[in-house]
Amino acid sequence: MIDASDQSLIDGVLAGQRRALAKTITLIESTRDDHQLRAGEVLRALLPRTGRSIRVGISGVPGVGKSTFIEALGLALIARGHKVAVLAIDPSSTVTGGSILGDKTRMEHLSQSLDAFIRPSPSAGSLGGVAARTREAMLVCEAAGFDVVIVETVGVGQSETAVAGMTDVFVLLQLPNAGDDLQAIKKGIVELADVVVFNKADLDETAAERAMQQMKGALHLLRAASPDWTVPVLKVSAVKHAGLDEFWSAILRYRDAMQASGAWEARRSRQALDWMWALVDQGLRHRFEHHPAVRAALPDIRAAVAAGTLPASAAALRLLQAMD
Amino acid sequence: MIDASDQSLIDGVLAGQRRALAKTITLIESTRDDHQLRAGEVLRALLPRTGRSIRVGISGVPGVGKSTFIEALGLALIARGHKVAVLAIDPSSTVTGGSILGDKTRMEHLSQSLDAFIRPSPSAGSLGGVAARTREAMLVCEAAGFDVVIVETVGVGQSETAVAGMTDVFVLLQLPNAGDDLQAIKKGIVELADVVVFNKADLDETAAERAMQQMKGALHLLRAASPDWTVPVLKVSAVKHAGLDEFWSAILRYRDAMQASGAWEARRSRQALDWMWALVDQGLRHRFEHHPAVRAALPDIRAAVAAGTLPASAAALRLLQAMD
């Protein structure tokens, strides 16, 4: 099943070659059916060498300083001997083809390091498709020897759920002003956060302290108490490289606690199965929507349901029968 | 397509006969394929006469006094000339076959009224299936002339989302103690509520006032501001029949505001389309899971994905191909 050029991709990735890594991710991102089949084979060959990184999801609204934070963190981790991959899921890129997170020059220093690999968000397809390809890119990075994979996203729509659903630890980056954490609470992001970080905390210490107390209160309300983990609320100044050690210590404490309780592996198994079923449902829906008889029947049926002249159940039955 | 006995069901429902109404709902709740087909036809015949009720969802944990509240409200509405149907979605009944909400004797006085119709939760099937049948039962009640349909549920799992997804207005019933509203916040129910009611408010006026202030704060945090509607937080004592007029006035104000903005019809159209797609996805998944080749392949594939030896994407592809 695997031809010579794909085998060289596999060998290149396993040898940690950046070019092979980038080409493999490009193959994964292709929407061509033959590319998808090849990508599947390559991924399967790489799978035994995946899973050995810490997968860190980072979310925060534009302006929170994600790039600066990730660059400072990445450089600090590389200085400790880590290899750091940075991937992105950017809902804006799926709509416009443009991307808030796509610009490599955002992390100028990190992108020059040989121990870093930065890949912008895929810019086509639904959020679900983008998320699927980012998950697979994450696995390829792991096979290439990256032992920290950071998946970043902006605080828009369902992208946090997607990122939290593919990472081991989900970090919420906040600004120390009162309006911001309320925003986060509204969007239900706080319920996903395993670690909360206030960036730019040095700009206004008083505001930062107040915001941290508010966040602790919100976490107390919104998170079910866990015997294994209390979500820490940390202060960082990425520009001044302050607080990054404490942040990484929190990540390692989280990993140790979750691995000790078995929750780490359980989360990964659940994520993989959820992902499989999501892809199955997506595949089933895709086949359904592209079925000629369904396509022919859908506009009238949809209009009748919206107008209240056809029951939803009868409509669903008719559409499903159209497929037979 | 419609035989004589089904036609007499239809005629009976349209004439407002309770026996025909009950038999039609029993037909809808049947899982037999031929019954489902007949139910679909009957429903389609009734559809032009549906949609003219106010659909009120009511949620609250066991002990909050839902039965007493609904009975008092129902009797008050009947005294004003309304016809009131009460349906239930009870997640406990889908698991155990038993039901927290199933007992008709809970509403002894209301159940004796000729202008009331009380139907316990269907006791078999998934939450999705129960919700689908309750939606359809709601339509049948409307066709039978009930102009207020109350769908009640307990604060467990996803049942509130199901009820909010089929009603015009979603009411959260709370107890005036500090622990309870925090519970509600955790479960994300507050985000669904269009009206919040503190029942048994007379037992401890001070506690009730404090709880209402907390709830207003939580609503301020959790609900996006709307120009059309600010969620009211009301006080009721169902036992003493106090506050029920104010409650119903709030429901009518909500209806008027939503109808004026067009949000009322838009919500119903969206609910019907969401429901159609949910039934389509459910039907597709059902066909998939019952396909012999899929059933044969699934256990090994699922185990390999959970163990991390097979990529989710390859697993999904293999399962989808098994169906061809």
The verdict on B26 and B128 lying in the same domain is no
Q: How far apart are CA B68 and CA B237, in angstroms?
A: 9
The verdict on B44 and B57 lying in the same domain is no
Final residue before a domain boundary, out of A238, A261, A284: A261
Interface test with chain B among A53, A136, A265, A276, by most B beta carbons within 10 Å? A276
Q: Is the dihedral of CA B242, B248, B253, B254 positive or negative?
A: positive
User: Band of the pLDDT at A36, cuts 50, 70, 90?
Assistant: confident
A266 belongs to a structural domain: no
The verdict on A131 and A19 lying in the same domain is no
B256 belongs to a structural domain: yes
Number of domains present in the structure of chain B: 3
User: Band of the pLDDT at A26, cuts 50, 70, 90?
Assistant: very high
In b/e form, how buried is each residue of A248-258, taking b as 16+ CB within 10 angstroms? Answer: bebbeebeebb
The verdict on A174 and A217 lying in the same domain is yes
A2-18: average pLDDT: 94
The verdict on B157 and B204 lying in the same domain is yes
Q: How far apart are CA A243 and CA A232, in angstroms?
A: 13
Q: Is the dihedral of CA B274, B278, B280, B284 positive or negative?
A: positive
Q: Which residue has the higher pLDDT, A227 or B281?
A: B281
A55 belongs to a structural domain: yes
A212-221: average pLDDT: 81
Angstroms from B240 CA to nearest CA on chain A: 32
Relative orientation angle of helices B263-290 and A292-307, to the nearest 10 degrees: 140
| pLDDT value of residue A97 | 56
A276-291: average pLDDT: 90
User: Band of the pLDDT at A293, cuts 50, 70, 90?
Assistant: very high
Show residues of chain B in contact with A303, CB under 8 Å.
Answer: none
User: Band of the pLDDT at A312, cuts 50, 70, 90?
Assistant: confident
B284 belongs to a structural domain: yes
Per-residue pLDDT tens for A155-204? 666 788 889 999 999 999 988 875 554 555 555 677 789 999 999 888 88
Asked whether the beta carbons of residue A280 and residue B288 sit closer than 8 angstroms, the reply is: yes
B268 belongs to a structural domain: no
Q: What are the backbone dihedrals phi and psi of residue B233, each rounded to the nearest 5 degrees, phi first?
A: -115, 110
Query: Which residues of A17-128 form beta strands (DSSP E)?
Result: 54-59, 84-89, 116-118
A283 interfaces chain B, CB cutoff of 8 Å: yes
Q: Which residue has the higher pLDDT, B202 or A70?
A: A70
Interface test with chain B among A42, A214, A313, A318, by most B beta carbons within 10 Å? A313
| pLDDT value of residue B185 | 55
Q: How far apart are CA A96 and CA A101, in angstroms?
A: 13
| Percent of chain A surpassing pLDDT 90 | 53
| pLDDT value of residue B89 | 85
Asked whether the beta carbons of residue B276 and residue A316 sit closer than 8 angstroms, the reply is: yes
Amino acid present at B232: P
The verdict on B80 and B225 lying in the same domain is yes
C-alpha torsion angle, residues A124, A127, A129, A133 (rounded to 10): 90
Q: For chain B, which ranges sit under pLDDT 50?
A: 181
pTM over 0.90: no
Cα–chain center distance at B153: 7
The verdict on A303 and A183 lying in the same domain is no
B269 belongs to a structural domain: no
Query: Which residues of B125-254 form beta strands (DSSP E)?
Result: 148-153, 169-174, 195-198, 233-235
Q: Which residue has the higher pLDDT, A190 or A100?
A: A190
| Percent of chain A surpassing pLDDT 70 | 89
Among the partner residues B186, B223, B312, nearest to A272 by beta-carbon distance: B312
B319 interfaces chain A, CB cutoff of 8 Å: yes
Angstroms from A315 CA to nearest CA on chain B: 7
Show residues of chain B in contact with A136, CB under 8 Å.
Answer: 311, 313
Asked whether the beta carbons of residue A281 and residue B281 sit closer than 8 angstroms, the reply is: yes
Q: Above 80 in pLDDT, residue A212?
A: yes
C-alpha torsion angle, residues A230, A233, A238, A241 (rounded to 10): -70
Final residue before a domain boundary, out of B34, B49, B64: B49
Q: How far apart are CA B92 and CA B165, in angstroms?
A: 19
Range of the domain at A220: 50-261
Angstroms from B205 CA to nearest CA on chain A: 24
Q: Which residue has the tokens 């919206």?
A: A306
The verdict on B27 and B160 lying in the same domain is no
The verdict on A252 and A122 lying in the same domain is yes
B307 belongs to a structural domain: yes
Q: How far apart are CA B172 and CA B211, in angstroms?
A: 13
Asked whether the beta carbons of residue A273 and residue B312 sit closer than 8 angstroms, the reply is: yes
Helices (DSSP H) in chain A: which residue ranges? 4-14, 18-29, 33-46, 66-79, 91-96, 108-112, 127-143, 159-164, 178-186, 205-222, 244-261, 263-290, 292-307, 312-323
Show residues of chain A in contact with B40, CB under 8 Å.
Answer: 311, 313-314, 317
CATH number, domain of A31, equals 1.20.5.170
Asked whether the beta carbons of residue A320 and residue B224 sit closer than 8 angstroms, the reply is: no
The verdict on B231 and B114 lying in the same domain is yes
Q: How far apart are CA A146 and CA A166, in angstroms?
A: 16
The verdict on A5 and A66 lying in the same domain is no
Show residues of chain B in contact with A273, CB under 8 Å.
Answer: 302, 305-306, 312
The verdict on A206 and A245 lying in the same domain is yes
| pLDDT value of residue A10 | 97
CATH number, domain of B143, equals 3.40.50.300
Q: How far apart are CA A30 and CA A136, in angstroms?
A: 12
Q: How far apart are CA B57 and CA B168, in angstroms?
A: 8
**Bridge partners, residue B153, by sequence:** B59, B89
A270 belongs to a structural domain: no
Cα–chain center distance at B11: 26
Angstroms from B162 CA to nearest CA on chain A: 15
CB-neighbour burial class of residue A265 (10 A; exposed 0-12, middle 13-18, buried 19+): middle
Asked whether the beta carbons of residue B311 and residue A222 sit closer than 8 angstroms, the reply is: no
Angle at B47 between CA B44 and CA B48, to 5 degrees: 125
Per-residue pLDDT tens for A242-270? 999 999 999 999 999 999 999 999 999 99
